[in-house]
Each structure stands twice: as C-alpha cells, then as structure tokens.
A and B are shown apart, each in its own frame.
Chain A
C-alpha cells in the first residue's frame, strides 16, 4: 500500500525537479497524441458529418460497423500496424517502425471510429427544424453545412475529448509499434508498464499521476474554450 503514497510524493518530485526521462516521455506522449488526434479529427469530422447528416441506403449498417470498430483492441491494432510497418511489410521502406509517427498511425486508427461515431450522433441530435429555418432565410449549401456543424459543436467536442482520452492512455499500440525505446518512443503509458515490470510500483503510480495532470490541463483549456463559445 505504501507505494501509493510514495507515488504521490514522487510524482511531484519528478515534475518539479525537471527529471529528463519523465519530460522525454511527456513530450513523446503529447506529441504523438496531438498528431493522431489532429489526423483523426480532420478525417473523422467530415465523415461523421456525412454519416449523421445525409440519409442513404445502408446507413444503419455503416453505423453498426463504425460502432463495432470503436471496440478495436489496441494490441490488435498494434499488431496490424506492425505487420505493415515492419521492414518486410508493404510499408517497410518508410522506416516508420519504432518511431513516433508510426505510433501515431496506429492511434489514428484507434481514434477515427470514435470521432466518426460521436460526430454523427452530435449532428443527428441537432434540431431538424433549424435546417428548414436556415434554408428559408436564403442560406446556400455551404452556409447550411457550416451552421449545422456550429450547432453540433459541443457534441463534436465531447467526441474529440473521448477520443483524446483513449489515445493518450493506450499502451498496446505504443508498446508494439513504438517498442518503448528510451529517449525516443517511450511514452508515459509504456514507461508505467516498464516500471511495473521492474517492480518499481511507486514510480509507476507517479507516472500515472503525471499523465492525469496532463489530461487535466487539456480539459481545463477545453472547458475554457467551451465557456467562451
């Protein structure tokens, strides 16, 4: 039990003393999760918009597929991405294995279904009468799309936060594709796994608290944005 309280003290110490290894892992985590969340938002929001906005044949089946993909296990994604990125795989020449962009590819795959699914729900739950009102005010197609997106902004944001949480806390992809290489691809979560394997439970707890601190900072800035808009 005592390693829990030790962990609190150690977490503070790591952040305060500017521990180089910890900051390297923080940097890797923030870098790779921002990268993957940007890619998944840029690709996912338009797709989610289409899925929520338009009615087409097979919409329900597409929705079921997207919802199922939300349950993709991270280790499985890691394995699939490894198969493509290994030297002897189809993308081997790009040397992406054991790099941060390699991890980001896997995490984008992880986040994409969440962004698409939750964006579609957000768009669907906007008021349908609003569309009629906007059209009657003489809006063109582009203005109509933009206003629907704007109306759904809180739902879209919730989706983005959910996806960000999943990406930042996953360990399977980072371990399999990144390899937990010190100073390079060691993220906070793979560092926790390593410290636990080494029996340094206090250090593991400390790093977990560091990760929570980052998540807290992200959410504080997001809720600040939400209050303004």
Chain B
C-alpha cells in the first residue's frame, strides 16, 4: 500500500468532503482546499422551494387522491432539484455532510409522504452538519419526518411502538449488540408523547400521551424523556466509536480504521461530540492518503460531481430535464430523499451493476447536453473532470471521439471517474 500523490490527495479531499473539484480547484493545493472545505462562514445557497400544505383527499375520492399524489410528486421533484442544486453549488463540506446524515438517519419520502417534513429534516441535517452530534441526535429523535417514518406517531403511554427506539440504538447511535430488548422497550416508553398531526410538518409534545413513570435503560432508572434517552445512548462509550466509524466508512474507506486511528478520531470527537473536529482529524490521518482508500462513488456523488465539472446547475434545467435527471438517478439506484430502508444505501460493488451502467451513460449524455463545451482533447477532458490520470485502456477508448459532448459523456463513465481513487 502506497501513498497517493499530493495532487491526488487534494482531489480526494474534494471528492470526499465536497462533491468533487471544479476545474482548476486542485491547483490551489491541499491546505487551501482544507481551508475552503472546512471554513465556517455560512453559505447563503438558494432558498428552498415554497412547499404549501397538500390538500387531503377524502376517503374514496379517486380524483382528489390522484390530484394529491400529483401535487406531492411535484413537490418532491422541486425539493430534490433544489438539494441537488445546492450540492452542485456548495463551496464547503456542509452539503456533503448533509448528504451523509441523510444516509445515516435514512428517512424516505416513500412512507413519510410529506415533502415539507422532509425539507425540515434536511434543514436540520444542514444546520448541524459539522456541529455537535448531541444536537443532531436531539433534533432527530423528535423530528417530524422521522416520527412518521418509524411509526413514533403511534407510540403512546400504554401502547409503546418500538420502531424508532430500536433503530435509534441500532443504526443511529450505538450499533447492534450494545443494548438489550429491555432497553428497547423502556426507550420506546421514554419516546412516548411526541406526535405529528396529519396536516402538520412539525412534531409536538402531548403530555397526556407521555408515559411519565420511571424507566430503566442501560441499568439506570429515572423518568427519562426523549432527550434524556438520547443522552443515555450517546453517553455509552461504544457510541463515539460507532459514529466515527460510520463517518470513516462513507468518507474514507470501507476498511475500518486501525485501533490507533480510531482512538485519535474518538479523542477529536470528544465530549462535545464535535463532527468538524473529527473531519479535520480524518484529513490528517496517514490512511486518508493511502492508495487503498478508494471508493466507488455513490450515484448522487457521481452525478453532482459531473455537474460541478460541467458548470451546470439543476436549478436552471427545465422541468422535463429535471425529471430525467431523477429518472437517471433512479436507474442507478439512488434518489435523494428516498433511501431503500432505514439502514441507508448500500456501497461498493452494489453500485456496479449492469443496469446501473446503462443508466449512468444515459444520464451523462443528458448532463453534457446542458453544458457549453469547447473543443477538448482526451487529456483536456481528464483535467475537466479532475481525474488524476487515464489508463492506457481509457485513453484508447476515448481516442476515437472528437465531439466534446460525446467525449465527456463517455469519459464520465470511465472506471477512473466512477471510482474515487
């Protein structure tokens, strides 16, 4: 295992903490990239779409149901386009981490059926993207979209529903094997009282639904509420390694960090559970520059990176093109706001299927059509996409293409671009 070059390390920084470099960004060097990505000044970004409350269809009214579904689909499209646009335009690591948290606290519009709630959750991911995991966990355990997604709406005194309590421990804060069935049951009781009205995008606490009797969680007894339960989970020593491990898995490598690396990252996380500090510590780790820390780009990362390179913005696409972009992502297996399960998206070889290969080329062809491309050489398209080097195989493959749009579309499907080396 060797170390990647300095230029490749800069490119890797942009791949993993942004959505890939725009042309020329790598030239500024590693330290400049760190300053830019981890800067703390807030980015304005485009304001989110105005999502009005969707009318409720009366039971049995097929026409009204159809209209409501159409309205919701329109809002979902507007929302996904807005987020993709922010990803493309983002200067800092914020959007990349917002995307990470969406996969971590994986919640799908498929069941939530409220674009307004999905937007509110998304804004929470953004606001806490590089902040304290404590704050983020507190926000998520009473988040309206999460409550709908994991049936917490039905969790009330006398009839606890365990779905949210279990996944919060297993997938969000601790990992499997770090809690008992009693902990899950008691935690569900701690989470009672929080509900979301059918027409609302905000959760509220209804005291009479809350079970205020003492609960015993992790062997401690008290009148624990939602926040207290989250604190108990986060205070378990296994939680820090779990959260840090999840960041590593998605941002650095499918191979877990060594014990020494993990210890340094957990120290950076600290009692404040500081995500930004973990990110900065990751960048300083030798393993971050290891040649073996290559990752298959997730479809959204690949598409957003390509749009950054092409200097095109989803916000400027017409509706038909926006729909096609989402259809392309669906064909590759990944649509924002629609993870396949609460366990989040798969990784690695899962993205390299035959059907995804076809969808990738089609989406690349669609996106290059939106760009203004000048005459390009094979090396010119390498620079445009920010690829370290083409293999002889890829050089040969691209040599027959003269049309810049065709050249760029095929180059974007090259293994050297599909994988973040």
Q: Do A and B bind each other?
A: no
A-binding residues in B (CB < 8 A):
none
